[in-house]
Structure 1
Amino acid sequence: MTLSDPLLNAREGAAELGISEPTFWRWVANGTLRKPVKLGNMSRWPRSELIDFIEQAKAKRATA
């Protein structure tokens, strides 16, 4: 993560992935997505990690 890598909240992360917020939280709970960076009581995900998740899914699709 770099300083120019924005931290997204769950709503923004879900929008980035094109899923609902409940699905986003379910994926975090079951380990599909990485746990958040905690800043006090806030949960945030680096945008780069969500993009990596998408790229990994695309790579799996290409090899299937």
Structure 2
Amino acid sequence: MQTSERLLRDQDAAAALGVSKTTFWRLTKDGTVPRPIKIGASSRWPQSEILAVIERAKAARAEAA
């Protein structure tokens, strides 16, 4: 049996990244955050993809140091 991954709303994903919803959508538009999964008119992001954005930012910070 496959376990479902939690899907985040824009406000929850933005909160996880510590940014406003406006900034979150800007990051989505520029490709920093992956495009959402559309479920009807709703946009959702797998939690693992938001965590991956954080991990990439941490890796980039380590490379710059």
- What does residue 46 of structure 2 align with? 46
Larger Cα Rg: Structure 1 or Structure 2?
2
CA distance in 2, matches of 1:57, 1:27: 13
TM norm structure 1: 0.90
Counterpart Cα distance in 2 of 1:29 and 1:63: 25
Counterpart residue identity of residue 11, structure 1: Q
The count of residues paired between Structure 1 and Structure 2 equals 62
Counting only pairs closer than 5 Å after superposition, residues 1-64 of structure 1 correspond to structure 2 as 3=4, 5-64=5-64
Which sections of structure 1, spanning at least 5 residues, go unmatched? none
User: Take 1:28 and 1:47, find their aligned partners in 2: how far apart are those partners?
Assistant: 15
RMSD between superposed Cα atoms in Å: 0.9
Deviation (angstroms), 1:34: 0.6
Encode CA deviations 1:2-44: one digit per residue, 9 max, x unaligned: 51x2100100000011000000011111111110000011000
Q: Which runs of 4+ in 1 moved over 6 A?
A: none
In 2, the alpha carbon distance for the partners of 1:30 and 1:47 equals: 19
